[in-house]
Amino acid sequence: MSKTGVAVLGIFVVDLAFRAGNMPATGETIAGSGFAMGPGGKGSNQAVAAARAGADVTFISRIGSDAFGDLAIKTWEAEGIRPRVARTAEAPTGAAFIYVHETRGDNAIIVVSGAAGGLSPADVDAATDAISSSRVFVTQLEQPVAAAQRGLEIARAAGSITLFNPAPAVAFDDSLFALCDYVVPNETEAEVLTGMAVSDLAGARRAGDALLAKGVGTALITLGERGALFHGRDRSLHVPPFAAGKVVETAGAGDAFVGGFAAALAGGADPLEAARFGSATAGISVTRAGTAPAMPRRAEIEALLKE
């Protein structure tokens, strides 16, 4: 079977983003300076990023039979993403509260997975054909660990490239690492997974070594404004950040990186070049407000890479 495109297992939520000068304390009410509502969820954001970066994308999830679920369907239709998504009346579509600092762009997020919180290995089995035929399979941990693990097992058995974004950093059995060609945590997640501080490149390399020892093929640790570390068994290289303009909002930057990286891998790029493509994707995304709408198009990414 000829493998093409990217299959993403994850969740969709509606992002409710509030901009303000600080987070309110318990019992405090403050005035905000902005509000936006739009599509989100790590898995869906990564699917949108990959699609805009030129990949053929299938998204696997569960949503509710409600207005937020209707928004999910419209979002995927607009991006040309094929949904393999069950709808249920028993739970609502997920939602996320996002606080964004009005000048720095820093963020804090509360996610409720809703219907996608009930994703089971059986749901993933139902999408085996989509996973097995994909060149790259991507998943995270906003849905249950058992569902993520089942997706990785199916992809590994089919010979697809497996990409695991361990976010948020929740507990799981180390056996999952052996299913991963690439693990893509940020600094905080890498620290939680390894118990090692990731405050500089040397720390990131130590954490990368620990992840390789757990069975990971390559550790790709994102470092925010410092870019990323591509850490494999035969090479360890710093992937520099790409400055595309003033940083407006960092929410969704990690998803932009993952989606861009997956799209480049699916297109046959060398993994290190795919990491540079992901870094450029993230570099553009932080210059724009919003989450999924901030994901750049392939032509924009390629133009930045040529600069």
Q: Which residue shows structure tokens 């207005």?
A: 67
- Side-by-side strand order, sheet with 136-139: 82-88, 57-64, 6-9, 136-139, 161-164, 182-183, 218-222, 228-231, 236-239
Query: Coil, helix or strand for 205?
Result: helix
Catalytic residue among 15, 66, 181, 255: 255
CB atoms within 10 A of CB 210: 16
What is d(CA 11, CA 277) in angstroms, rounded to the nearest whole number?
24
The one-letter amino acid at 25? A
Backbone angles phi, psi at 157, to 5 degrees: -65, -30
Residue 275 is classified by DSSP as: H
The one-letter amino acid at 122? A
Burial of 5 (0-12, 13-18, 19+ CB in 10 A): buried
Q: Which residue shows structure tokens 């000048």?
A: 103
Backbone angles phi, psi at 44, to 5 degrees: -65, -40
Answer yes or no: 255 catalytic: yes
Among all residues, which ones are annotated catalytic? 255
